[in-house]
Amino acid sequence: MSSVTGTMATTALTGFSMMSLLSLGYLTWDLSLSPNQVENEPMHAFVESSPVPQPPHIIFIMTDDQGFNDIGYHSSDIRTPYLDKLAADGVKLENYYIQPICTPSRSQLITGRYQIHTGLQHSIIRPRQPNCLPFDQVTLPQRLQELGYSTHMVGKWHLGFYKKECLPTRRGFDTYFGSLTGSVNYYTYNSCDGPGRCGFDLHEGESVAWDQRGKYSTHLYTQRVRKILATHDPQSQPLFIFLSFQAVHTPLQSPREYIYPYRGLENVARRKYASMVSAVDEAVHNITYTLRKYGYYQNSVIIFSTDNGGQPLSGGSNWPLRGRKGTYWEGGVRGLGFVHSPLLRKKRRVSKALVHITDWYPTLVGLAGGNESLTEGVDGYDVWEAISDGKESPRLEILHNIDPLYNHARSGSLQKGYGIWNTAVQASIRAGDWKLLTGDPGYGDWIPPQMLPGFPSSWWNLERHTVQKSVWLFNISGDPNERFDLSEQRPDVVKELLARLVFYNRTAVPVRYPSEDLRADPHLNGGAWVPWVGDEEVDSWDTVYQKKNKDWTKKLKLSKSRLFFRRLNTRIMSNRI
């Protein structure tokens, strides 16, 4: 056995029995083989790289809904030996921020801009909404194409598809293979947007990939990435691959062999969830093997990132952070992330440098050889020196978001914002050590793993509501779990951060959140989710937005009455407990 083989085998075997390894698939190098079949490919098949070409090959791997506590080096119950090894040999990003839900994180990665500057500051893009990434935005893959890259995307898009001009292949990717909506069945690729509104959602380029149904998506996407690597010449052209896994988003599905090592977990949701994370770990293992095999590795940068916090109702965990997916507490916006690359100058360390998902745009353009003119106007910073050399991050501040359409906090007002800002509006910002939240930040409890998913779902409403508030302030460096609200002790800091919200809000563009279009129904489009509006059809965003705003006002009144009865039931339930 070669030294490389011995190292990989030793790494994989740490903490595992041979039976667990076989069931997890870590001895299965080629995912095109059956789960229990081992590919006998000799390690001397690795291609030795000739003099390192410039710029580097970039592999960006994003997981969906993976919580802060859902990786081996943070968790005691989820096993990710290969991700742990990659992170340990690279740079762990432990002060890394994303967005609390899918569409915003992807839009900020692709454009390098805050949501308030793309009109996507409210919620996600629904399958039937005539909405997508604004056409005036030059995307990251488009910039990389300009710099000579071959660009490919595999996996979940979730940035709109109502027109063909919205599709990944029209937004900078030479090839695309994946799903356009936010959630699909891992085997059938069926996606539903409400009862009876279901359709097939797996696409090859701009065509529907009907023939691929039945294959587990984590395996299928990994096979496609390995095929791209196998058919591209690493010496002729730099490569950018954006692998956007569907995992570990619901539905909780994985091949049975991945569940076996977690049979001791009593919580069923956590058990299934953990098995899906292990399938991702194996996938990243196999992709890295392929990078080595075909001569990419020595001149590659591998970035691993989740898109938002985990959902404890579905097995995820952000412990010990506060909150969950869909909230602006740390559990919703502090992300898992690391960089692994032979090009890193200072490896095997933990970075506390402040990094935001918008920073990848200028960072990767810079790595690709682009100058600052190509990233003019973006909200991100080039953080490569902070990651690679351990220097201070150029970023001092993060606008998490300002969402004027989210349900306004009943306890908020302009008066409570010192006449500076209406604290009923959902917003959050971090500046230096300080983090401010206004409005309704979302569910704000601390949820240990394996706890509440086994309880009645109504118990989720038993959140700590002892005080009705609309302003919170935390020293996030000293109190990352957000347990000590300092808003009353430090009104001076509150006022300064409220003024920063006002500054950002003046630069915001109108929210793009149109009403759903009945023409999008898959039953009207051959049974699949596909573009349904002609490219020649003119969009009227102002009209759509105003109509949606009126609908939202009516829904807010209805939601308030529902909220009253929900809290009444909660108090009754609390007394019983």
For every residue of 76-99, DSSP letters joined together read SS---HHHHHHHHHSEEESSEE--
pLDDT score, position 367: 97
3-state secondary structure 544-568: HHHHHHHHHHHHHHHHHHHHHHHHH
pLDDT digits (tens, 9 = 90+) for 155-209: 999 999 999 999 999 999 999 999 999 999 999 999 999 898 999 999 999 999 9
Quickly state the pLDDT bin for 541 (edges 50, 70, 90). low
Q: Who's near 298: CB < 8 A, 6+ residues apart?
A: 49, 52, 342
Average pLDDT of the residues of the chain: 86
188/201 Cα distance (integer angstroms): 9
4, pLDDT greater than 50: no
Is residue 197 a contact partner of residue 189, using CB atoms and an 8 Å limit? no
**DSSP code string of 227-246:** HHHHHS-TTTS-EEEEEE--
Listed in sequence order, the residues at least 6 apart from 521 whose beta carbon sits closer than 8 Å to its beta carbon are 128, 197, 199
The percentage of residues in the chain with a pLDDT greater than 90, rounded to a whole number, is: 76
Higher per-residue confidence, 24 vs 223:
223
Q: Which CATH number fits domain 57-392: 3.20.20.70, 1.20.140.10, 3.40.30.20, 3.40.720.10?
A: 3.40.720.10
Cα–Cα distance between 94 and 482 in angstroms, integer? 16
| DSSP SS3 for 515 | coil
| Mean pLDDT (whole number) for 481-492 | 97
Of 570 and 135, the structure prediction assigns the larger pLDDT to 135
Query: pLDDT value at position 266?
Result: 85
Provide the percentage of residues in the chain whose pLDDT is more than 70: 81
DSSP state of 139: P
Residue 468 has pLDDT above 70, yes or no: yes
Give 371's Cβ-side CA count (13 Å radius).
1
* Contacts of residue 68, Cβ cutoff 8 Å, sequence gap at least 6: 74, 309, 310, 317, 318, 319, 321, 330, 331, 334, 335, 336
pLDDT at 454 (0 to 100): 57
State yes or no: is 158 an active-site residue. yes
User: Is 219 among the catalytic positions?
Assistant: no
d(CA 107, CA 88): 29
Phi, then psi, of 438 in degrees rounded to 5: -130, 165
Q: Which of 57, 74, 102, 122 is catalytic?
A: 102
pLDDT for the residue numbered 537: 83
What's the confidence (pLDDT) of residue 450? Answer: 67
Least confident of 32-36, 79-83, 462-466: 32-36
Q: Which residues contact 561 (CB under 8 A, 6 or more apart)?
A: none
Domain spans of the chain, in order of start:
57-392, 402-451+461-507
- Residue 125's pLDDT band (cuts 50, 70, 90): very high
DSSP 281-315: HHHHHHHHHHHHHTT-GGGEEEEEEESS---GGGT
The pairing of beta strand 150-155 with beta strand 239-244 = parallel
What's the pLDDT at 307?
96
pLDDT at res. 409: 93
Q: Which CATH number fits domain 402-451+461-507: 1.10.1740.10, 3.30.1120.10, 1.20.120.420, 3.30.420.40?
A: 3.30.1120.10
Q: How confident is the model at residue 53 (pLDDT cuts 50, 70, 90)?
A: low
358 DSSP assignment: G
Which residue carries 């959050």 as its tokens? 428
Q: Cβ(336)–Cβ(76) under 8 Å? A: no
DSSP for residue 180: S
Residue 286: pLDDT band (50, 70, 90) is: very high
Query: So what's the pLDDT on residue 315?
Result: 93
What gap in Å lies between CA 101 and CA 285, rounded to an integer? 27
Task: Out of 117, 152, 158, 203, pick the active-site residue.
Answer: 158
Tell me the Ramachandran region of residue 194: left when phi exceeds 0, alpha when psi lies from -120 to 50, beta otherwise: left
Give the burial class of 34: count Cβ atoms within 10 A of its Cβ; 0-12 exposed, 13-18 middle, 19 or more buried: exposed
pLDDT band per the 50, 70, 90 thresholds, residue 13: very low
Would the pTM of this model clear 0.75, i.e. be above it?
yes
Tell me what pLDDT residue 385 has.
Answer: 97
53 token code pair: 């070409």
Task: Give first-to-last CA distance, the chain, whole Å.
Answer: 60
- pLDDT at 533 exceeding the cut of 60: yes
Q: What was the pLDDT predicted at 264?
A: 87
pLDDT at 132: 97
- Going by pLDDT thresholds of 50, 70 and 90, the confidence category of residue 54 is confident
**Per-residue pLDDT reduced to its tens digit, 67-94:** 999 999 998 899 999 999 999 999 999 9
Q: What is the mean pLDDT of residues 494-523?
A: 97
